[in-house]
Structure 1
Amino acid sequence: MTIQATLFSFVNRWECDENDHLNVQFYFSRFEEADRQFRLMTGLSETVVGARRVRHVRYHKEMRTGDLITVHSSIAFDGPHMLTVIHEMRDAATGTLSATALDGYEPSASAAKTLRQRFRDFQTPMIAEAGPRGISAGPANARATLAALQSKGAQIVYRGTVLPRDIGPDGKADDRFALSCCTDGVAHVWQRTPMTHAYLTENGFGRVAVEMKLTWITPLKTGDAMLVVSGFTGVNPKTFSMRHHLFETRTNRLAAVLDVVALTMDLTRRVAVEQPDEAYQSINKMLID
Structure 2
Amino acid sequence: MQTGNQADEDEMMAEDAGFEDIEAGRGVVVAGETDARGRMSAATITDRITDGAVFVLSAAGLGRHALSEQGLRLKVLASAVEIDEAPAVGEAWRLGLQPVPAEEGAIGFAAELVDPLFGDLMARGLVEVILEDAEGEPVSFPDDIADRLADAATEAAAPDDSLPAGCGVVATRHCDIMGHMNVQFYGVAFEQATRLLTVGLGLPEGVVLKPTRSVIRFKAEQRLGDAFQVTTRPTMVAPDALAVTHELHNIETGALAASVEYVLIPITAATGATHPFDDETVETAAMLGAEVLAGIDIGPGPTPTEGVRVETYRGSIDPWHCDENGLLSQQALIDRFSSGAGQLLGAIGLSGARIQTDRIGTAAVEYRVRYEGPARNGDALVLESQIAGVRDKVLILRHRLVRPGEEATPLLEIDVVAVMLDLEQRRATRVPADVTERARGLLVETEASAG
Give the TM-score category using the shorter length: 0.7 to 0.9
- Tell me the number of residue pairs that the alignment of Structure 1 and Structure 2 aligns: 266
- TM-score (normalizing by structure 2): 0.53
User: CA–CA distance in 2 between the matches of 1:97 and 1:269?
Assistant: 20
Amino acid at match of 1:10: V
Given candidates 237, 249, 253, the residue that maps to 1:94 is 253
RMSD: 3.3
Match of 2:197 among 38, 47, 61: 38
Structure 1 residues 52, 202: closer, same or farther in 2, change over 3 A?
closer
Which residue matches 1:6?
Answer: 165
Which letter maps to 1:95? G
How far did 1:94 drift? Answer: 2.4
Letter in 2 for 1:7: G
Q: 1:275 aligns with which of 431, 434, 451?
A: 431
* TM-aligned CA distance change 1:159 to 1:195, over 3 Å: same
- Compared with structure 1, are the counterparts of its residues 169 and 49 closer, same or farther at alpha carbon in structure 2 (3 Å cutoff)? closer
Per the TM alignment, residue 115 of structure 1 is displaced from its structure 2 partner at its CA by: 8.9
State percent identity of aligned pairs: 24
Q: Find the residue that maps to 1:40 and give its secondary structure.
A: helix
Q: Note if contact 2:244-2:261 (Cα within 8 Å) is conserved in structure 1.
A: yes
Map of 1:254 onto structure 2: 410
What residue number does 1:70 align with?
229
Alpha-carbon distance, 1:49 to partner: 11
Give distance in 1, aligned partners of 2:404 and 2:386.
18
Asked whether the 8 Å contact 2:201–2:284 carries over to 1, the reply is no
1:227 corresponds to 2:382: yes
Note if contact 2:202-2:281 (Cα within 8 Å) is conserved in structure 1: no
* Distance apart, 1:19 and its partner CA: 1.5
Map 1:136-175 to 2 at 5 A. 141-142=301-302, 148=305, 152-175=307-330
1:189 pairs, out of 340, 344, 350, with: 344
Which structure ranks higher in relative contact order (CA pairs < 8 Å, sequence separation ≥ 6)? 1
What stretches of structure 1 of length at least 5 have no aligned partner?
Answer: 126-136
Amino acid at match of 1:123: G
> Given the superposition, is the C-alpha separation of residues 143 and 96 from structure 1 closer, same or farther in structure 2, using an over 3 Å criterion?
closer
**Range with bigger deviation, 116-125 or 230-239:** 116-125
1:57 partner amino acid: I
Which residue number in structure 2 is paired with residue 237 of structure 1? 392
> Structure 1 residue 178 and structure 2 residue 337: aligned?
no
Give the AA of the match of 1:159: R
Look up the equivalent residue of 2:211 and give its one-letter code: R
How far did residue 194 of structure 1 move?
3.8
Q: Which residue of 2 aligns with 1:288?
A: 444
Q: Which stretch of the first structure deviates more once superposed, 214-223 or 35-44? A: 35-44
> Which 4+ stretches in 1 moved above 4 angstroms?
47-51, 114-118, 137-140, 250-253
Structure 1 stretch 215-224 or stretch 245-254: which is displaced more? 245-254
Decide which of 213, 216, 219 is 1:54's aligned counterpart.
Answer: 213
Unaligned runs of 5+ in 2: 1-159, 267-276, 292-296, 446-451
In 2 relative to 1, CA 230–18 (structure 1 residues): closer, same or farther, beyond 3 Å? same
The code of the aligned residue for 2:364 comes to: A
Q: Within 2, Cα distance between the matches of 1:30 and 1:162?
A: 21
Post-superposition CA distance 1:225-265 (Å, at most 9, x none): 21211001112111111111111226556221121011221
Query: Which amino acid in the other structure matches residue 279 of structure 1?
Result: V
Which of 419, 427, 446 aligns to 1:263? It is 419
- Report the Cα distance in structure 2 between the residues aligned to 1:180 and 1:50, rounded to whole angstroms: 20
CA contact (8 A) 1:49 1:105 kept: no
In terms of Rg, which structure is larger? 2
Secondary structure (helix, strand or coil) at the match of 1:119 reads: helix
Amino acid at match of 1:90: H
User: Which amino acid counterpart does residue 245 of structure 2 have in structure 1?
Assistant: I
Cα gap change, 1:167 to 1:156, in 2 (>3 Å): same
